[in-house]
Structure 1
Amino acid sequence: MQEYLVNLEALMPRLTEAAINIAMALAILIIGWWISSLLGAWVRRAATRSPRIDATIVPMFHSVVVWAVRIFTVIAVLARFGVQTASLIAVLGAAGLAVGLALQNTLQNIAAGIMLLILRPLRTGEYVALSSGAEGTVEEVGLFLCRLVQVDGIHITLPNSVVWGATITNYSRNVTRRLDIPVTIHYSDDLNGALENLAKVAAAHPMVLKDPAPLIKVSEYTDTGTVINVRIWCAAAQYWDLRWDMFHQIRQALAASGFKAPIPVREIQGQPKDASAA
């Protein structure tokens, strides 16, 4: 019994030191995690409020800050237990190289995400269409993925490499957009009168810009009638509202002026019946 107490007394300093190390390590880990979350929230809030920082870069910047602090926290915890952090960093570097070779596609997505944030062919809130077929409003450009929201509310998640490798059509980058509306006029109706009516409708609409001025010209002939192209400019944010309203108003204005609907007309000719054959 006395030998057991002697051994226990000899182990007490070590147990005390281990308990202190564990407590300090837990304190460092908790404080580090708390500081990382606090810094991440502060960075996100400051970046969101600043007009000079694009909202597209905020999620990635937030992630980099948070995980940088957490990695240093883990290294500090390991150092508390006597782990040689220099050798650990070397091992992590070698492991990172091996993982990088194994995850080439993932690193390609990271590189593509960095290029998207530097060159910024798309930004948060802009409506884009990709040559791959996906389109929608940009919600986030992350470290690995881009998220788009379609007009029907469906979320699309794409790897950054797919977005970077596609042709990007950005419908929101310019302040103004051009709208072309084809209007078919029956061949029996007054073409000059139709041009005047369409010019009045375009000039009276409040969303139509005066500069560039509306352009109403005959563009082609079809089986149903003469096609007049109504070319107008508007603010990019009002494009679809103007398009729907113009289709409505043009039909009403032409009908009120007595213009016929461009219904397809077919002329059928037949041979007269030979009386001698009867």
Structure 2
Amino acid sequence: MEQASEFVVATRAALAQLSALAVQYSFSVVGALVLLVIGWLAAGVMSRWAHNGLSRIHGIDATLSQFFSNIIRYAILVLVVVMVLGQFGVQTASVLAALGAIGLAVGLALQGTLQNIAAGIMLLVLRPFRVGESIETGSVTGTVVDVGLFATELRTADGVYRLAPNSTLWNVPVTNYSRLKTRRHEISVSIPADANLAEAQTKLTAVATGDNRVQKDPAPSAYVADFDAGSTKMTLRYWTKSHDWWSASRDLTKAVKLAFDPKPEIPNHQGE
């Protein structure tokens, strides 16, 4: 009989403790759910605000604004998770220390990838080249198709797709053939040493001024670049718009060749 009464008392005490724990943790669960909902909504709102604000800044790429807005969103979500764990009595200091250690380990493991991301951010901010521009580096040459956070897509002159890690483009000098509006070109031709230099200069200048793609200012010029015992080297220098440079250089090179070709002799049939 006494054992039965002791069992009843123990059962009632256990039930009382369970009810107390249920009441205590029910508030914690409700508070955690509220924090999660508010945190999720706040992360979305702050991410959109950051994206819209960065998009209004001149020179900020859409990829870069999306990247920073995502960082803000995930940072808020991590903070919310830490606060939720604190609701259940978890020591948040140890959680933050663990997250820091994990972040350090991931950073060391992905050192090359993070280097490409850092280079991509600098390329998107400083813009040494843009989509559609023709560039050349130590190992990469082509037209820019897309600039991402990890790599840059290019199309070579012979129609080959090339993907270059951003770190390889950021750590070397980049030559941008399309950034400036005008470009200079030079065409060299060798003439006999006894040829009329003034006439040769007139021919070269006439070839350049006869092409509408050649800029009037600065005006094209022809000059003696070098000479030896048997020939004189003359150079035609002119400026064109950057997008006309290639086609104009091919056409004017041909025109210079034709201008200095010996004229075929016309046979005289009058005495026949």
Separation in 1, partners of 2:263, 2:55: 58
AA aligned to 2:111 is Q
Is 1:254 the equivalent of 2:259?
yes
Unpaired segments ≥5 residues, structure 1: 261-278
Is 1:66 the equivalent of 2:70?
yes
Separation in 2, partners of 1:204, 1:16: 88
Map Cα deviations across residues 72-127 of structure 1 (whole Å, 9 max, x no partner): 12321342343544432222222222333333333433454455567x47232442
Specify the alignment match of 2:269 in structure 1. none
Asked whether the 8 Å contact 2:44–2:73 carries over to 1, the reply is no
Separation in 2, partners of 1:37, 1:117: 20
CA apart distance, 1:146: 3.4
> 1:221-232 maps to which residues of 2 (within 5 A)?
228-232=234-238
Specify the alignment match of 2:6 in structure 1. none
Calculate the TM-score normalised by the size of structure 2.
Answer: 0.66
Specify the alignment match of 1:176 in structure 2. 182
SS of the equivalent of 1:231 reads strand
AA aligned to 2:68 is V
Asked whether the 8 Å contact 2:137–2:174 carries over to 1, the reply is yes
Q: 1:46 aligns with which of 49, 52, 56?
A: 56
Is 1:80 the equivalent of 2:90?
no
Change (3 A) 1:154 1:188: same
Percent identical among aligned pairs is: 31
> Could you say which structure has the larger radius of gyration?
2
Specify the alignment match of 2:166 in structure 1. 160
Calculate the TM-score normalised by the size of structure 1.
Answer: 0.65
CA apart distance, 1:39: 3.5
Change (3 A) 1:38 1:154: farther
Separation in 1, partners of 2:148, 2:250: 31
Specify the alignment match of 1:94 in structure 2. 101
AA aligned to 2:94 is S
Unpaired segments ≥5 residues, structure 2: 1-10, 265-272
Specify the alignment match of 1:201 in structure 2. 207
CA apart distance, 1:155: 4.3
Asked whether the 8 Å contact 2:51–2:69 carries over to 1, the reply is no
Change (3 A) 1:84 1:156: farther
Equivalent residues, number: 244
Asked whether the 8 Å contact 2:85–2:92 carries over to 1, the reply is no
